[in-house]
Structure 1
Amino acid sequence: MTSTADSALPVTGLPEGEAEAVRSGRLDIGWARILSTLPRSRFLPDVIWPKDPATGVNIPVDKAVDPVSWRGWADADVPIVTQWDDRSTGGPGDTATSSASQPALVVNMLAELDARPGHRVLDAGTGTGWTTGLLAARTGSANVVGIEYDAAVADAARARLHAAGLDPLVVTGDGAAGWPARAPYDRIQCTYAVRRIPPAWVEQTRPGGLIVAPWETGLTHHGALVRLTVDEDGTASGPFVRSVQFMGSRPERPTPVDREDYLPSDVDSWPDGTDQTTSTLRPADLWDTPYSAAWWTVGLLVPDVVHATSTADDGTLIGWLFSRRCRSWSIAYFDDDPEAEVYQGGPRRLWDEVETAHRWWAEHGRPGHEDFGLTTGTETERVWLRDPANIIGPDR
């Protein structure tokens, strides 16, 4: 992927995240030249909402009002929201729907993708156009196809790419369908989270080609980046390489859960069949730890479940679980007591499933994301632990 001689060359003019990737040898000096001439700032709109790492809050920055601050955030190693609530203008809103990824994460994905000059590449989720542009500069514009679901976002990306002197094909459509007219591809990269690798990607990648994509369970938006190698038999398999968080695929957006469908607020007592128990698990054991491998593993082993939290008037943290298969539910109350009070009802005992999954994770050595892998094909998708033969959880 890289040469020792190239990676030892001095690196100047790059933000630290990109420079470190070149110094470490994960990206070669050819990538350094591309990144220095195509910084993220060339592909950003005038109004952006970078995520302040000190507060975790997205702050509005207008280039026309404060160009110095805008440039500082554009070059910072932070993710930047560029669209809210599927609207081409306006913001901020309730839900971030398009963004420019953190540069360090982008270069890590490029290192995993290992795109080389002459490779045919499909970039699903063009967004601002930055990653599509980087890949076009690396492999040649004629070899790159970018797909963007949002027509206004796609139009803006085309304009930025043209201004940068690049002319990859950018199509408006669902990235899950790929773009068969330019197949087969040597590499497919996705810059939004999926819950199943689209079969079209496997079908449109040549044997030996690579697919790099963020993959998540339905339980949490903290997922993991998977690097798959396509086989002659029409399957693709490979390891998860690191934890990541990306916006989800728009066509895969789940229908919101209404708590009233499970526990009507006008009922004064617990429904018949409710179980009461206690648990020594705490939020820090599960969802409270950023990018927790434990909670991600629970999502692998406890499918079709939605998680939410709220806070009672007295400060007690409440953890909610709802099944998408049936009207099963669970509520855990976390106060200062060492044991949480848990109530659960319905055909599934969701908290029991969570405890069983967490216990499995602990008994198997508390594996990290990189200990797991994925094998996918046209009909089934399976997650495995440390070896493709060691399948865990249900087929997907």
Structure 2
Amino acid sequence: MPADPSTTTGAHLAAMVERLEAEGVLTDVRLREALLSVPRAVLLPHAYVRVSDPGVEPIEWRLLDGSHPVDREEWLDVIHSGESVLLQRDGEQLDALERGPVTGGNMTSMSTYTPATVEILQSLALTPGLRYLELGSGPGVSLALAATLTGPGLATGVERDGHMAAWSRHNLDRLNVGAAVVQGDALDGHRARAPYDRIHSGIGVPSVPPAWVEQLAPGGRLLTTLTTRTPSWPGQLLVTRSGHGRTEAVLRGRPRGYRPMLGYRWLSALDHRARIKADPGRARPTRLAPPPDDAYGFWLAAAYLAPGLVRDFQAETMTIVAPEDDSWAVAGPGDGTVRVHGPRDVWAELEEVHARWETAGRPETYHVDLTGGPGHHHVASGPGRKALTWTLPPLTTVPPQTT
């Protein structure tokens, strides 16, 4: 069901790039030219759009076929919107999908939110001649951009899903940008073409696989999302290797990040929304005003030190749920009280973490010691007894694809 790139109007692509520049997201001239030169229509020839409301099961979808005249304009708007584009349900085969309504299933692959792609590629500072590895390359959008920036034959993607690997390889070959896609476990990297000057993971991981660090060249950079059991507050980890081989890892909170493999199984606050509205909980006083959304250093610490919490960002006032404990906290509306429900006092945990964060000097970045193996990566905001510290959880294994 591929769409002919000649049918794609350049106006949509130009408008997307102009938005990214106007929002201050896109600042690199070379990346701007790469974005304009890579036709997204080839890599994203179809798109799922959700029809049913959040929380409604089974989910109702509609598949837009970019080659169909009825779908074409809506499809063009979707793939150039800058938002993530939904591409695959339940690991399905991708070369014979039928347009129209579809019921049920979970999305197992999507393109990345475009501002995040731009931010990542700019921070990696890709230049001609650098060897690039993309882990969990999906449909290959960022891989194609990286190949355009580094030059042909230097950008490699590793994709676990066999259907997605074959589909993206076919689409990338049509672009002739010189990017390679191999099927394999992203946690293993790709030793055959190592070492790499730049490594980027398009999947979130609880800690850094040893293979990634081993395959990073001297002077190289590795960028990945660290995911916790708190999907609302991801962390971004930058690993650098000096010319002498010494590694340094810095973790910082971010407003968004990549999901882990099979990330649709993350905890959700949606199932509790109706119950919270009916019974927000008992009111009690609090000295902690709802922390601002951009206090990323605090929220990142809370993700580890008060795990298993999920923020309902659509709620009128700050609402944080512990789904597995059937507990929640509803803050505000600015009267010095908070409402709590369930056996776990969610807000008390946040009060404690916030006090510790204040004592530690309100850190925004944390250093990660990667010398130990997975499960022994220690995190600290700094030296001394007042520092915030924790240990990253071990890597989790995902069963191999069977279809």
Instruction: Report the TM-score when normalising by structure 1.
Output: 0.71
Residue 71 (structure 1) aligns with: 76
SS of the residue corresponding to residue 160 of structure 1 reads helix
The reply to whether residue 296 of structure 1 matches residue 324 of structure 2 is: no
Q: Where does structure 1 lack aligned partners over 5 or more consecutive residues? A: 1-11, 52-56, 258-275, 324-328
Contact 1:78/1:102 (8 A) holds in 2: yes
| Cα gap change, 1:309 to 1:358, in 2 (>3 Å) | same
Residue 255 (structure 2) aligns with: 243
Contact 1:382/1:392 (8 A) holds in 2: no
Residue 261 (structure 1) aligns with: none
1:334-353 counterparts in 2 under 5 A? 334=330, 338-344=337-343, 352-353=348-349
Residue 376 (structure 1) aligns with: 370
| Cα gap change, 1:58 to 1:388, in 2 (>3 Å) | farther
SS of the residue corresponding to residue 77 of structure 2 reads helix
Residue 184 (structure 1) aligns with: 195
1:94-133 counterparts in 2 under 5 A? 94-133=105-144
Paired amino acid for 2:370: T
Contact 1:223/1:243 (8 A) holds in 2: yes
Residue 46 (structure 2) aligns with: 46
1:114-263 counterparts in 2 under 5 A? 114-231=125-242, 232=244, 235-240=247-252, 242-250=254-262
Q: Deviations over 1:38-61 (max 9, x none)?
A: 03333103233389xxxxx99745
Contact 2:48/2:62 (8 A) holds in 1: yes
1:276-315 counterparts in 2 under 5 A? 278=284, 280=286, 285=290, 294-302=298-306, 305-307=307-309
Contact 1:50/1:80 (8 A) holds in 2: no
Q: Deviations over 1:265-320 (max 9, x none)?
A: xxxxxxxxxxx9956389x837x959965433211223xx423689xxxx999865
More divergent stretch after superposition (161-170 vs 290-299): 290-299
| Cα gap change, 1:316 to 1:256, in 2 (>3 Å) | closer
Query: By how many angstroms is 1:389 displaced?
Result: 11
Give distance in 2, aligned partners of 1:334 and 1:242.
Answer: 23
1:2-81 counterparts in 2 under 5 A? 13=14, 15-16=16-17, 20=21, 26-28=27-29, 30-49=30-49, 60=62, 62=64, 63=66, 64=68, 65-81=70-86
The reply to whether residue 83 of structure 1 matches residue 77 of structure 2 is: no
Contact 2:237/2:252 (8 A) holds in 1: yes
Paired amino acid for 2:355: R
| Cα gap change, 1:354 to 1:139, in 2 (>3 Å) | same
Paired amino acid for 2:79: A
The reply to whether residue 385 of structure 1 matches residue 381 of structure 2 is: yes
Instruction: Provide the identity percentage.
Output: 23
Residue 274 (structure 2) aligns with: none
Paired amino acid for 2:308: V
Aligned residues: 342
Contact 2:82/2:115 (8 A) holds in 1: yes
Give the alignment's Cα RMSD to 1 decimal: 4.1
Contact 1:148/1:154 (8 A) holds in 2: yes
Give distance in 1, aligned partners of 2:123 and 2:60.
Answer: 28
